[in-house]
Amino acid sequence: MFFGPHYLQLFGDALRGVYDLVFHYRLTAADLQLLERHFPYYSNLNPRHQGEFRRKLEMVLTRKKFISRGGLKQVSTEMKVLIGATIVQVTFGFWKVFLSHFKKILIYPDTYYSTISKSYHRGEVNPRFGIIVLSWPCFVEGMADHRDGVNLGIHEIAHALKLENRIQYNRESNFFHPSVWSDFMTHSLREKELIRSGRDDFFRERGAVDADEFFAVVIENFFERPVEFKAKKEELYQIMVQLLRQDPITLGSGRT
Ligand SMILES: [Zn+2]
């Protein structure tokens, strides 16, 4: 039993610890300026939460590999910091969740053509290859209006979060509380029907496609329009607070 899964896990953790120490990313003054200027989720946190956010962001930037694709000359610091910050935002309620299965972030200079779906894509998540793919202009467009409930980065990272919760072989699985998840699924069926019938347009049509899309669209609204979300659909909003273990309304009042 010496080489059983438990020991392999311990060995893996030890290697991870050494790697994180040697290659630890340190945020620079320029990185912090980027966060302050372009990432309202961070700038609205209280100082204690900002400290936690920065520590988690350094861990994310240490662990993720950012790769340019489709003729993108290079991955800029701005790309790394803002995409990394979006991962921290969505996972902020879980100190130990880094979306470890998704080691690579592929960045395109524009929408990109998928030979599988034979269409142009803005972003996607591929669990088979452990990658998150983003078109940089589409990512920026999603961030430009941070209150319209549409944000490509949050959307794709929400897909990754839902998948990570189900992936069994690393320590990040099953972080969603099962009964809260089942409450979410009950609401999801009802809400998708409301979107399809046109009786309620709070969530955009994309949310009616399937359970994955609904989850991603709900999370976009949770972060970008939390006050409206809570006012319109309080029960579902509270389920999301419990599911993600954070409340953007109270977190966002840190400086006001
Ligand atoms: Zn989607």
How many Å apart are CA 120 and CA 138, to the nearest integer?
12
* 204: CB partners within 8 A, 6+ apart: 149, 150, 195, 217
Model pLDDT for residues 127-164, shown as the tens digit of each residue: 999 999 999 999 999 999 999 999 999 999 999 999 99
Contact criterion met (CB below 8 Å) for 180 and 154 = no
How far, in Å, is the centroid of ligand 1 from the Cα of 156? 6
| Residues in a beta bridge with 5 | none
Q: How many residues are recorded in the chain?
A: 256
Q: How far is the CA of 20 from the centre of ligand 1 (A)?
A: 31
Query: What is the spatial distance between Cα 184 and Cα 161, in angstroms, rounded to a whole number?
Result: 15
Q: For residue 93, give the nearest of 19, 175, 173, 185 by alpha carbon.
A: 175
Beta strands 131-135 and 123-126 are antiparallel
> How much is the average pLDDT of 49-64?
97
Distance 190 CA to ligand 1 centre (A): 19
200-225, pLDDT tens digit by residue? 999 999 999 999 999 999 999 999 99
Distance from the CA of 58 to the center of ligand 1, in angstroms?
A: 27
| Distance from residue 188's CA to the centre of ligand 1 (Å) | 15
What local confidence, expressed as pLDDT, does residue 168 receive? 80
- State in Å: Cα 155 to ligand 1 middle: 6
Distance from Cα 216 to the centre of ligand 1, integer Å: 6
pLDDT at 109: 95
254 Cβ neighbours under 8 A, 6+ residues apart: 44, 45, 46, 47, 49, 50
Q: Positive or negative, the Cα torsion across 35, 41, 47, 53? A: negative
- Bridge partners (DSSP) listed for residue 107: 68, 134
Q: Tell me the pLDDT band of 5, cut-offs 50, 70 and 90.
A: low
Which residues line ion ligand 1, judged by CB < 5 Å? Answer: 213, 216
Ligand 1 centroid from CA 207, angstroms: 8
Which CATH superfamily includes the segment(s) 9-251? Answer: Collagenase (Catalytic Domain) (3.40.390.10)
Listed by start position, the domains of the chain span 9-251
Q: pTM (2 decimals)? A: 0.91
The CA–CA distances, whole Å, from 43 to 40, 49, 197 equal 5, 10, 39
Beta pairing class for 131-135 and 104-108: parallel
